[in-house]
């Protein structure tokens, strides 16, 4: 007869060591997973990561409301165009503004100081059309470490020309300044809003102050 006790598994030192190694490996794996999951969760998705491309092109549109100054009658300097009371609650001198901007960052990526040029068209009832061309300086400040969200103070100084239907054109200077909020998308696209933003138009016997609100999209390359 065979002793029943001989059928029981025998725990040798080598077997016990192997079991301890398996337990330790399992615990290390669980610990590594516990550390890796929060780290991965804290990383922003690729589409929201900071941009790496220095050049950008923006297009936008929005209302430009007249909040001060005077409307212009081109038949003589200093005249007020009382018959043009403003349009769509935009105030005298207000308009719908279209904006295109091209610029480049000195840093070689999507943050820091940048220089470029902005071109804007102004459309309104009563046959009004305005044009502004101005060099522009922007400083894109990254707000969050892993997300391409930027606060962008900016200033532009340039040339303005506008004309009401039936009136001679006005030519003067233009100073704009404000802050934009930009969000990078996939290291190629972006969306932005220009708010707050002020536009000062000035010339011989004529001045106007406007408040702009512009929404837009863009490309970086």
pLDDT of residue 207: 82
Same domain membership, residue 68 and residue 38: no
Q: In whole numbers, what is the pLDDT of the chain averaged over residues?
A: 81
The confidence score (pLDDT) of residue 165 equals 78
Residues 98-124: what's their mean pLDDT?
97
Least confident stretch, 13-22, 28-37, 134-143: 28-37
For residues 169 and 193, membership in a common domain is answered with yes
Residue 72 lies in a domain: yes
Q: Is residue 3 part of a domain?
A: no
pLDDT of residue 169: 85
Split into its structural domains, the chain has a count of: 2
Is the pLDDT at 195 greater than 60? The verdict is yes
Give me the domain span that covers residue 36.
9-42
Q: Is residue 59 part of a domain?
A: yes
CA-CA distance, 150 to 59, in Å (whole number)?
17
Return the pLDDT at 84: 46
Q: Are 131 and 190 members of one domain?
A: yes
Entry pTM: 0.74
Q: Of 178, 105, 173, 95, give the one whose Cα is nearest residue 134.
A: 173
Q: Are residues 168 and 108 in the same domain?
A: yes
Compare 73 and 96 and report the one with higher pLDDT. Answer: 96
Between 91 and 69, the more confident residue is: 69
At 200-215, the pLDDT tens digits run 999 886 788 999 999 9
- The mean per-residue pLDDT over the stretch 153-167 comes to 90
Q: What string of DSSP letters covers 136-163?
A: EEEEEEEEETTEEEEEEEEEEEEEEEEE
Least confident segment among 20-24, 103-107, 189-193, 207-211: 20-24
pLDDT band of 72, cuts 50, 70, 90 = low
Residue 89 lies in a domain: yes
Q: Is residue 1 part of a domain?
A: no
Supply φ then ψ for residue 109, to 5 degrees: -140, -165
Residue among 90, 81, 57 at smallest CA distance from 192: 57
Inform me whether the pLDDT recorded for 117 exceeds 50.
yes
The domain spanning residue 172 has which CATH number? 2.40.160.20
SS3 88: coil
Report the C-alpha gap between 136 and 157 in whole angstroms.
7
| Together in a domain, 123 and 150 | yes
């Amino acid at each position: 007869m065979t002793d029943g006790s001989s059928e029981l598994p025998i725990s040798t030192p080598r077997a016990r060591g192997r079991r301890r190694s398996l337990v330790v490996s399992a615990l290390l794996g669980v610990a590594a997973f516990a550390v890796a999951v929060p780290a991965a969760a804290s990383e922003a998705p690729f589409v929201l990561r900071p941009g790496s491309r220095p050049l950008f092109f923006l297009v936008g549109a929005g209302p430009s409301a007249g909040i001060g100054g005077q409307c212009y009658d081109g038949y003589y300097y200093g005249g007020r165009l009382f018959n043009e009371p403003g349009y769509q609650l935009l105030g005298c001198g207000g308009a719908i503004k279209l904006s295109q901007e091209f610029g480049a960052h000195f840093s070689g990526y999507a943050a820091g100081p940048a220089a470029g040029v902005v071109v804007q068209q102004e459309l309104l009832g009563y046959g009004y059309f305005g044009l502004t061309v101005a060099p522009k300086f922007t400083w894109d400040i990254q707000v969050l470490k892993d997300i391409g969200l930027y606060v962008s103070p900016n200033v532009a100084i340039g040339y303005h020309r506008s004309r009401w239907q039936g009136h001679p054109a006005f030519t003067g200077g233009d100073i704009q300044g404000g802050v934009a909020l930009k969000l990078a998308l996939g290291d190629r696209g972006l969306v932005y809003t220009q708010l707050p933003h002020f536009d000062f138009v000035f010339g011989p016997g004529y001045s106007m102050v406007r408040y702009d609100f512009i929404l837009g999209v863009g490309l970086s390359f």
